[in-house]
Amino acid sequence: MSSGEVVRRDRVDRPTLSVCIPQHERTQFLLLALESLARQTHDAFEVCISDDCSKDGGTPRILEFLKRSRLSFAFARQERNGRYDRNLRASLALARGEYCVLLGNDDGLAGPDTLALLARDLATTPGVAVAVTNYRDAATGRLYRRARTTRGLAGGPALAARTFRNFSFVSGLVLATEGVRRHATDRWDGSEFYQMFLAARMLAEGGALLSIDRIVVDMGLQVPDQRVDSYARRPRTPRWPIVERRLNLDAIGRLVLDAILPFARNELERQRLIWRVMGQLYLFTYPFWLVEYRRVQSWSYACGVALGMRPRHSLQDVPAAAVTRAALGAIFGGVTAAGLTIPLGAFERLHEHLYGLAKAAAGARRD
């Protein structure tokens, strides 16, 4: 097929769910994910795949599977490589369903009744803008719980600021399609957290959040003799010199605050929201990854991460008052000192627990 062309088959006139998958290269993993979709007992859904100029030659195999299945689907191949955020937005743009269910191209659904149960949960809670679900590691069976109960919560900026870390891992996140279209933007392309912006914005404007205490996704499907790229498997860089490393962590706070601050009622609320968002980032997300990069790279590499994350970058263009900025700077300095000096042995013992805390904040894998 040619770039820009959309191949579509609509077996369902009015799908409830659109499973949206940004695809790049991982054809064999995607085919496993599609098998989990083909087994679903729920029939009022479609699959929407945007391929970001893959060069592995897998497009014919993907289309062959889709056409051979009974799935409703839309498959588009982008004209140029736009990376994760643009590709996710393109997959969302294909959706006709009431809700978009986001799924990574190497993740699958947990069981054949997954979408039927998800559709039931959404139908019994009116006004849902965002829903979060649980997932497990396909290799180890380890459970990651973003939702510890099934209940709806009234939206608003405070809720968005409290829950944004749950929106990083893309798979199993559900967004109302109307809100996705209304808030579509390329402003945060390159951040690798587009879904976090959408979810935070939709909650901040008053949409309801539904937490669903159910395993929906099997994370990291296993293909013999194939591995998905991971930060932990990348070659170690030279220890010296110390070079500033601008990872996507420094975009999280700015992105979330851009999503929610327009809905703050006054300056006092704005400062509280800045404090809550950046406080979580500095106290939960940043310290884990600072020490993790010490573990998988080196102390000097972690120093570069700290330089890239310092407030001049992570608070850039954030309208924080002087007292708020000073307090956050003190927290950042203390966390950095601790993260660069904590014995790695102690971190290793706490690694799984800390990873569970940080996973919601910066663990999503990208195309």
Tell whether the model's pLDDT for residue 175 goes beyond 70.
Answer: yes
Rounded distance, CA 281 to CA 270, Å? 17
> So what's the pLDDT on residue 225?
79
> So what's the pLDDT on residue 207?
97
Rounded distance, CA 263 to CA 240, Å? 45
C-alpha count within 13 angstroms, C-beta hemisphere, residue 83: 10
Rounded distance, CA 354 to CA 339, Å? 13
Rounded distance, CA 307 to CA 257, Å? 21
> So what's the pLDDT on residue 81?
87
Tell whether the model's pLDDT for residue 118 goes beyond 60.
Answer: yes
Alpha-carbon distances of 239 from 37, 261, 341, 343, rounded to whole Å: 45, 40, 16, 18
Q: Residue 136 forms beta bridges with which residues?
A: 143, 218
Alpha-carbon distances of 264 from 161, 200, 271, 321, rounded to whole Å: 11, 13, 9, 15
Domain 6-219 fold is: Spore Coat Polysaccharide Biosynthesis Protein SpsA; Chain A (3.90.550)
Over residues 127-141, the mean pLDDT reads 95
Q: Residue 100 forms beta bridges with which residues?
A: 18, 175
The residue ranges of every structural domain in the chain are: 6-219, 231-362
CB 274 within 8 Å of CB 257: yes
Q: Please give, one letter per residue, the 3-state secondary structure of the chain.
A: CCCCCEEEECCCCCCCEEEEEEECCCHHHHHHHHHHHHCCCCCCEEEEEEECCCCCCCHHHHHHHHHHCCCEEEEEECCCCCHHHHHHHHHHHCCCCCEEEECCCCCEECCCCHHHHHHHHHHCCCCEEEEEEEEEECCCCCEECCCCCCEEECCCHHHHHHHHHHHCCCCCCEEEHHHHHHCCCCCCCCCCCHHHHHHHHHHHCCCEEEEEEEEEEEECCCECCECCCCHHHCCCCCCCCCCCCCCCHHHHHHHHHHHHHHHCCCHHHHHHHHHHHHHHHHHHHHHHHHHHHHHHCCHHHHHHHHHHHCHHHHCCCCCCCHHHHHHHHHHHHHHHHHHHHCCHHHHHHHHHHHHHHHHHHHCCCCC
> So what's the pLDDT on residue 271?
97
The pLDDT tens digits of the residues spanning 252-295 come to 999 999 999 999 999 999 999 999 999 999 999 999 999 999 99
> So what's the pLDDT on residue 2?
66
The pLDDT tens digits of the residues spanning 158-167 come to 999 999 999 9
Residues with Cβ within 8 Å of residue 102, at least 6 apart in sequence: 20, 88, 170, 171, 172, 173, 174, 175, 195
Which of 240, 258, 244, 260 has the alpha carbon at shortest distance from 312? 244
Rounded distance, CA 11 to CA 73, Å? 8
> So what's the pLDDT on residue 142?
92
Confidence class for position 4, pLDDT limits 50, 70, 90: confident
Provide the percentage of residues in the chain whose pLDDT is more than 70. Answer: 93
Confidence class for position 345, pLDDT limits 50, 70, 90: confident
- State which amino acid sits at residue 261: L
CB 63 within 8 Å of CB 35: no
> So what's the pLDDT on residue 167?
96
> So what's the pLDDT on residue 367?
38
Tell whether the model's pLDDT for residue 169 goes beyond 70.
Answer: yes
> So what's the pLDDT on residue 360?
47
Tell whether the model's pLDDT for residue 351 goes beyond 70.
Answer: no
Over residues 65-77, the mean pLDDT reads 96
Mean pLDDT computed over every residue of the chain: 92
Q: What number of other Cβ atoms are within 10 A of residue 173's Cβ?
A: 27
Q: What number of other Cβ atoms are within 10 A of residue 343's Cβ?
A: 9
Confidence class for position 352, pLDDT limits 50, 70, 90: low
> So what's the pLDDT on residue 353?
61
Most confident of 223-227, 247-251, 359-363: 247-251
Q: Residue 6 forms beta bridges with which residues?
A: 76
**Which two three-digit tokens encode residue 361?**
């904040």
Alpha-carbon distances of 5 from 1, 93, 124, rounded to whole Å: 7, 14, 37
Which of 118, 139, 89 has the alpha carbon at shortest distance from 17? 118
- State which amino acid sits at residue 76: A
Rounded to two decimals, what is the model's pTM? Answer: 0.92
Tell whether the model's pLDDT for residue 72 goes beyond 80.
Answer: yes
